[in-house]
Amino acid sequence: MLCSARPEASKENNVNVVDRAKNILIQPRTEWHVIEAEPADPKALYLNYLAIVAAVPAIASFLNFVLFAGPFGVRMGVGTALAAALTQYVLSLVMVLAVAFIADVLAPSFDGHKDFIRALKLTGYSMTAAWLAGVFVIIPGVGWLIMLIGTLYSLYLFFLGTQVMMKVPEQKAIGYTVVVVVVAIIVSFVIGLFQSAMLGRGPGGMIGPVPHF
């Protein structure tokens, strides 16, 4: 029994990052069912997927801060830019946990199932679009528009996933998504204040956006 369980338990550990990102973006309805069937391993999810994909906007922000003007038109030194990018990176990963907690707590109110691991997978994989769109921060003028589209698509991914991962009825999925997003925005604002206190850059102290939906 133990021997036969090990390959199954490691299945999620071996998820190919590129394939998962491509599939969740191109065929999300199918991919959510694949994700649902995978063994739940939060550590593997973070180390083998979230930590990698979340690095994309952080690296792009670092390059933007150093090579171009940052979000407020001020070019940063390498040290400051690195600190800013690392802070954005860490807070992005923290934001996934925060939104997952919110999604988990609110699920029963919309006739869904309360399951933190599923909520974490739902939130983490939904962030794929917003994080990958973050690479376009280095493009002046239109970068913000592409990032906005990525964020909106992450919302759509979350909406689709709620019915599979949290078992929220279809007729309540929109309401559930809206409430989770509103609460997540409030949490993001609080995290932004923390970021401000840590680095104190730009209006309100924000040195750059923490990607979320």
pLDDT at residue 42 greater than cutoff 80: yes
Phi first, then psi, for residue 212 (nearest 5°) are -160, 180
More confident residue, 13 or 162: 162
Contact 116, 104 (CB under 8 A): yes
- Condensed to tens digits (0 to 9), the pLDDT of residues 180-200 reads 999 988 888 887 777 666 655
pTM for the whole structure: 0.84
* Confidence band of 140 (pLDDT split at 50, 70, 90): confident
- Hunting for tokens 């491509």 — which residue is that? 22
Take residue 1 and report the two structure tokens written for it. Answer: 């029994």
Strand (E) or helix (H) holding 34: helix 28-37
pLDDT for 105 equals: 97
Check if the beta carbon of residue 71 is closer than 8 Å to that of residue 207. Answer: yes
What does the block give as tokens for 96?
Answer: 């996934």
Q: Which residues contact 186 (CB under 8 A, 6 or more apart)?
A: none
Return the residue matching tokens 């860490």.
Answer: 90
Average pLDDT, integer, range 99-112:
97
141: buried, middle or exposed (CB in 10 Å: 19+, 13-18, 0-12)? exposed
In contact, 150 and 130? CB cutoff 8 Å: yes
Q: Tell me what pLDDT residue 184 has.
A: 87
Residue 161's identity, in one-letter code, is G
Q: Confirm if 195 and 61 have CB atoms less than 8 A apart.
A: no
